[in-house]
Amino acid sequence: MNPLAELRYFFTALGYFTRVPVPRWVGYEPHYLNAAARYFPLVGVLIGASSALVYLAALRAFPAGVAVLLSMAASLLMTGAFHEDGLADCVDAFGGGYTREDVLSIMHDSRIGAFGAIALVIALALKWQTLAALPPLRAACLMIAAHGASRAWAISYLATLDYVRTTGKAKPVAQRLSGPALLCAALFGLPWLLWPGGPGAPDWRFAALTCAVLLVLRFAMGRYFVRRIGGYTGDCLGFAQQIFELSIYLVGLAWISS
């Protein structure tokens, strides 16, 4: 393993998924993106940690609801609403398209429709209300866990499904993910689920329940993607990441409420 190459792949992932400036020496080659896929969950952990810091800092001056909104705004600024765009495009396409060609055409359209706008409002409102209802430390820890784990589960589709476009922004990423790369991504993104309430003993039951929920969702969404368009697009990965992230927050809230 070449440490310099791995650092280049990490920075490639960071530059692809965020608006954080990366060093010029990193450069760009299409194959960097596929090699960088294993670092996508680690980038998610960094985004989640940044959001959690904003949330905890804002709590010193504002109510929980405002602090959560500020943390969400921070993550949206960091990512350029990359995954939220995929959510809106997918809901517009799957909600408004009948044939495979219709779905892909609508998904490619940069304009947002009624279905996509409604989905965005509901998803953002659910995140806001769910995180605001959680105890502060648990909310902060779940932000980190959800951003990391949701990306690990989303890119697992790279290992099992086919990319359906001949071109596209996600095409360099959309090569079959190898077993070792998928394992690496899982190690970067999933262990955070063991500590939903902060430092202390690992909460195996919460992690197991959450992964079971996400596994069911992964199977259901994968089946749907294949049935409707024969595989996945970059927007499908963004859609899946948002569903996984929101599901982790909801499981976290249900866990402490039960």
Q: Is the pLDDT of residue 172 over 80?
A: no
Radius of gyration in angstroms for the set of CA atoms belonging to the chain, rounded to a whole number: 18
With beta carbons less than 8 A apart as the criterion, state whether 193 and 206 touch.
Answer: yes
Tokens encoding 164: 């359906």
Select the more confidently predicted residue: 28 or 227: 227
Domain ranges for the chain, please list them: 40-257
Q: According to the model, what pLDDT value does residue 173 have?
A: 65
Q: Is the pLDDT of residue 190 over 90?
A: yes
Q: What's this model's pTM, rounded to 2 decimal places?
A: 0.95
**Rounded Cα–Cα distance for residues 150 and 192 (Å):** 11
**Rounded Cα–Cα distance for residues 246 and 250 (Å):** 6
Side-chain-side CA neighbours of 242 within 13 Å: the count stands at: 30
What is the full DSSP assignment across the chain?
--HHHHHHHHHHHHHHHS-----GGG---HHHHHHHGGGHHHHHHHHHHHHHHHHHHHTTTS-HHHHHHHHHHHHHHHHTTHHHHHHHHHHHHHHH--SHHHHHHHHH--S--HHHHHHHHHHHHHHHHHHHHS-HHHHHHHHHHHHHHHHHHHHGGGGTS-B--SSSTTTTT-SPPPHHHHHHHHHHHSGGGG-TTSSSS--HHHHHHHHHHHHHHHHHHHHHHHHHHSSB-HHHHHHHHHHHHHHHHHHHHHHHH-
What is the full DSSP assignment across 231-244?
SB-HHHHHHHHHHH
- Residue listed under structure tokens 């955070």: 192
What single-letter amino acid sits at 80? G
With beta carbons less than 8 A apart as the criterion, state whether 221 and 240 touch.
Answer: yes
Q: According to the model, what pLDDT value does residue 170 have?
A: 62
Q: Is the pLDDT of residue 201 over 80?
A: no
For the beta carbon of residue 119, count every other beta carbon within 10 angstroms: 22
Q: According to the model, what pLDDT value does residue 171 have?
A: 61
Q: According to the model, what pLDDT value does residue 176 have?
A: 81
**Rounded Cα–Cα distance for residues 19 and 80 (Å):** 7
Mind listing the pLDDT tens digit for each residue in 62-89?
A: 999 999 999 999 999 999 999 999 999 9
Q: According to the model, what pLDDT value does residue 168 have?
A: 62
| Torsion over CA: 65, 71, 75, 80 (sign) | positive
**For range 249-257, the mean pLDDT:** 94
**For range 49-62, the mean pLDDT:** 98
With beta carbons less than 8 A apart as the criterion, state whether 140 and 55 touch.
Answer: yes
**For range 36-62, the mean pLDDT:** 96
Residue 25 — very low, low, confident or very high, per pLDDT cuts 50/70/90?
Answer: confident
Q: Which residues contact 86 (CB under 8 A, 6 or more apart)?
A: 234, 235, 236, 237, 238, 239, 241, 242
Q: According to the model, what pLDDT value does residue 208 have?
A: 97
